[in-house]
Amino acid sequence: MDLYNNEILGWSYSKKITKELTISALKKAIKKINVVKNCILHSDLGSQYTNKEYLRT
């Protein structure tokens, strides 16, 4: 969510919370804003967010 205008930047949904789900949402957000410099990403510490593949994205 963009805190400036409350716009949702990236989202995905599934029956299960997996690393693939979170990576999909992150990639959608990156594609939408097209800039990641000076961007703050906030997430919880669930296993899907601490996964090495997610962190490399």
Residue range 13-36: average pLDDT? Answer: 85
Specify the number of domains making up the chain: 1
- Domain housing 22: 1-57
End-to-end Cα, the chain, rounded Å: 18
3-state secondary structure of 50: helix
User: Which among 19, 2, 1, 3 is positioned nearest to 11, based on CA atoms?
Assistant: 1
For the record, the structure tokens of 9 come out as 């930047």
Q: What is the pLDDT of residue 57?
A: 74
Is the pLDDT at 23 greater than 80, yes or no? Answer: yes
| The pTM of the whole model exceeds 0.85 | no
Is the pLDDT at 25 greater than 80, yes or no? Answer: yes
Most confidently modeled of 7-11, 43-47, 48-52? 7-11
